[in-house]
């Protein structure tokens, strides 16, 4: 047999191609370099954690345990998270479930993340109890709710602080939660303060960090931190904790004997339609934003009006005089936190991406499939902006016409 060292071009190709299904398995084995020396792949390997996030496998645990890396096909499959169960709770941490349009707000998800941290840290079996008024259009499976008390009916929907306070008082009487956590924003912030008065406790407001025995809360117009003891009623700021991501939660219903809600002294006259163009960008929930890739400006304005979106723009679109300066999104413009941000013909420069860091869902419309906005987006449409906006408007018009004919 010849002593000649033969190279295997296919093996070398697999070693270079990280997405190849056998890459992990083969690249962990030492191979011979061109000089015949044994070489080990110095690059750390990666695997997928239970939440579906890619993680570096520095200890090479995946191959040791016989787990092969997921192929790109498998990666797109749904990862089933382990179920977190609290079988017989001995204590509760109550969280007011703040919703917008029938979905939990991202602020509320942060508060639930904090509640789960508190529950897990306790020796006693403790469940996170979500208290919800009205209907929900999404599943609570991943949000961090172990038990759910949901009440529906017009007495609880809209702006009903008196009925909500009464509900909280009944939960307090029946289950006596260890802590009450509220997002410190909107109506939930008001309700938390109302409950504190009813319970006669001093609430902790603007809380952004819970430590072992103390908490940190913002003060002095957000420029100062104060440290104080925990309170039974805590109102937490956004990003107080990471939202839950590692488990599925039961959200099993809790049945309580509730008395009928009191007669409200306040009358909710419903929401008033406002012109989306009048909403300050920082507060807008739905933004259609234009960049250098928009060439038909009347069409862009028409699309924003039809979708009911507030208009935003990249700096180039503003500098070119197509949009006013107060509509610029980004590091030197406005930092926005919309639930949906549609970027039309925006490349995704770092200064622009900084401004949309807090947006929940980003949709990119662009000709360039490799641009940074496409990497940031949850959904992308590749093509000419004018054609895509025209198709989008046609769809919206068709849907509206359908709704009108259904109603007739
Ligand atoms: C100090 C400093 C501060 C800055 N601050 C900001 C800021 O606050 N906000 C900001 O936005 N920028 C800011 N910038 C500018 C930033 O660096 C970019 O130049 C700018 O964001 C690019 O804007 P754009 O994506 O609209 O344009 P371009 O970079 O020109 O991108 C245009 C995009 O449109 C796509 N496109 C072209 N034609 C079409 C078509 N027909 N259909 C669909 N897509 C198409 C292209 O593929 C491309 O992705 C700042 C720069 C500096 C130096």
Q: What is the pLDDT of residue 165?
A: 94
Greater model confidence, 314 or 42: 314
pLDDT tens digit sequence for 279-290: 889 889 899 999
The Å distance, Cα 288 to ligand 1 centre, comes to 15
For ligand 1, say whether the CB of 312 is within 6 Å of any of its atoms. Answer: no
Residues of the chain by 3-state class (helix, strand, coil), percent to 5 = 30, 25, 45
For ligand 1, say whether the CB of 142 is within 6 Å of any of its atoms. Answer: no
User: Helices (DSSP H) in 59-160: which residue ranges?
Assistant: 61-64, 72-75, 106-121
Query: How far does the chain reach from its first CA to its final CA, in angstroms?
Result: 87
Whole-model pTM? 0.65
For ligand 1, say whether the CB of 347 is within 6 Å of any of its atoms. Answer: yes
**Average pLDDT estimate for 136-144:** 90
pLDDT tens digit sequence for 11-52: 777 766 666 666 666 666 665 555 656 665 555 455 544 444
The mean pLDDT of the chain is 85
How far apart CA 289 and CA 273 sit, in angstroms, is 21
Q: What is the pLDDT of residue 276?
A: 87
Say if CB 192 and CB 203 are below 8 A apart. Answer: yes
**Angular region, 325: left φ>0, alpha ψ -120 to 50, beta rest:** alpha
The Å distance, Cα 333 to ligand 1 centre, comes to 13
Domains of the chain from N-terminus onward: 9-68 (no CATH), 89-253 (3.40.50.620), 278-407 (3.40.50.1220)
Q: 67 falls in which pLDDT band (50, 70, 90)? A: very low
pLDDT(80) > 90: no
| E runs forming strands in 220-278 | 224-229, 233-236, 248-249, 252-253
The Å distance, Cα 370 to ligand 1 centre, comes to 14
Q: What is the pLDDT of residue 63?
A: 40
């Amino acid at each position: 047999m010849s002593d000649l060292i033969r190279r295997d071009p296919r093996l070398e190709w697999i070693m270079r191609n990280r997405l190849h299904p056998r890459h992990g398995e083969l690249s962990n084995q030492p191979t011979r370099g061109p000089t015949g020396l044994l070489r080990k792949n110095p690059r750390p390997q990666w695997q997928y954690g239970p939440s579906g996030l890619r993680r570096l496998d520095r200890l090479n645990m995946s191959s040791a345990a016989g787990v092969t890396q997921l192929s790109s096909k498998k990666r797109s499959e749904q990862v089933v998270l382990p179920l977190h169960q609290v079988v017989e709770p001995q204590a509760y941490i109550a969280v007011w479930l703040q919703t917008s349009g029938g979905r939990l707000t991202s602020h509320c998800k942060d508060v639930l993340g904090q509640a789960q941290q508190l529950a897990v840290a306790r020796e006693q079996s403790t469940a996170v109890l979500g208290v919800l008024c009205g209907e929900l259009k999404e599943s609570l499976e991943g949000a961090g709710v172990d038990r759910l008390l949901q009440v529906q009916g017009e007495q609880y929907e809209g702006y009903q602080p008196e009925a909500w306070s009464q509900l909280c008082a009944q939960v307090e009487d029946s289950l006596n939660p260890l802590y009450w956590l509220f997002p410190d924003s909107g109506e939930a912030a008001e309700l938390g303060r109302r409950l504190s008065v009813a319970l006669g406790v001093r609430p902790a407001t603007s809380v952004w960090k819970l430590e072992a025995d103390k908490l940190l809360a913002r003060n002095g117009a957000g420029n100062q931190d104060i440290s104080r003891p925990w309170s039974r009623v805590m109102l937490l700021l956004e990003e107080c904790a990471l939202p839950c991501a590692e488990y599925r939660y039961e959200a099993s219903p809790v049945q309580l004997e509730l008395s009928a809600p009191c007669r409200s002294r306040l009358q909710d006259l419903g929401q008033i339609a406002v012109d989306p163009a009048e909403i300050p960008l920082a507060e807008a929930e739905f933004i259609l934003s234009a960049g250098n890739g928009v060439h038909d400006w009347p069409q862009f304005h028409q699309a924003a009006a039809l979708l009911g979106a507030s208009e935003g723009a990249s700096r180039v679109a503003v500098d070119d005089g197509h949009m006013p300066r107060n509509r610029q999104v980004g590091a030197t413009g406005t930092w926005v936190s919309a639930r949906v941000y549609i970027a039309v013909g925006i490349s995704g420069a770092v200064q622009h991406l900084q401004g949309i860091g807090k947006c929940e869902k980003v949709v990119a419309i662009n000709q360039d499939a490799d641009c940074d906005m496409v990497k940031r987006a949850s959904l992308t449409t590749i093509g000419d902006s004018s054609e895509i906006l025209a198709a989008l408007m046609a769809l919206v018009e068709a849907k509206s016409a359908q709704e009108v004919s259904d109603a007739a």
